[in-house]
Amino acid sequence: MLKDFDIAFTNKIKSYFSNTIYANTALVYNVAYDLVDDPTVKLEFPLISIYRPTGFQLASQQNFAARKLGYIYYNNDELDKSSNIRYLVVNLSYQLDIYTKTPESLNDITEELMHALSLDSTIEVSQYDSNTENSYVDTYEVTYGQGPQEASEFQNGDRVYHYSIVYNIDNARLLNFKENSNIIDTEVITEIEQG
């Protein structure tokens, strides 16, 4: 499921920088630049915000068998339970917005983040099958997309420095589990005709 990728990607960035949130880009922008009238809604800086503003796209590698049948996964503890794991192959683009109060910290955080993702460029995503109560874990590569792009603005006398960077997860498999009924025992009755 998409949320499993969002959670895994957010947790990866949080492991580098603790003040990281997954939130709609427009919402974070409005709060960061004090464009929201609610005084209780404030953000701490520096901040990294993650979002998929372009949603997701089906990858060209998607095949008929993956969508319709998938493959069969057996629960090792109980051979009477299995699932068909069908999947969609999609490409995901994550936009990381970095907000700080100084240009120096903006450059430092951006550089550190880009180094971290260059040196540790994989992500582990776990998707849960409630039928067999097993998790299917897969590893994906996180690749650089574009940026950093300058997006700083100064409003209401407040200075917020802002870069935007895009990283991609290509050929992500969005799993769909369907429980199967398995044949455990069979009984064959044969009749012999005398003729």
CATH code at position 94: 3.30.2000.10
Q: What φ, ψ does residue 38 adopt, rounded to 5°?
A: -80, 110
Residue 192 domain-assigned (yes or no): no
Report strand pairing: 47-51 vs 20-22: parallel
CA distance linking residue 129 with residue 134, whole number of Å: 5
Question: At residue 9, does pLDDT exceed 80?
Answer: yes
What region does 84 belong to: left with phi over 0, alpha with psi -120 to 50, or beta? beta
* Residues 13-69: tens digit of each pLDDT: 999 999 999 988 777 766 766 555 555 556 788 999 999 999 999 887 767 776 676
| Structure-token pair, residue 100 | 């700080």
Residue 158 domain-assigned (yes or no): yes
CA distance linking residue 83 with residue 178, whole number of Å: 5
pLDDT of residue 178: 76
Residue 40 domain-assigned (yes or no): yes
Residue 187 domain-assigned (yes or no): no
140 lies in which domain range?
Answer: 2-181
Residue 186 domain-assigned (yes or no): no
Residue 19 domain-assigned (yes or no): yes
Residue 34 domain-assigned (yes or no): yes
Question: At residue 134, does pLDDT exceed 90?
Answer: no
pLDDT of residue 40: 58
Residues in the chain: 195
Cβ(175)–Cβ(127) below 8 Å: yes
pTM: 0.80
* Residues 58-115: tens digit of each pLDDT: 887 767 776 676 666 555 555 566 667 888 899 999 999 999 989 999 999 999 999 9
pLDDT of residue 81: 63
Residue 193 domain-assigned (yes or no): no
pLDDT of residue 91: 96
pLDDT of residue 150: 87
Cβ(168)–Cβ(5) below 8 Å: no
pLDDT of residue 11: 97
Total of domains in the chain: 1
pLDDT of residue 43: 75
* Residues 149-195: tens digit of each pLDDT: 987 776 656 688 999 999 999 999 998 887 765 545 556 677 777 76
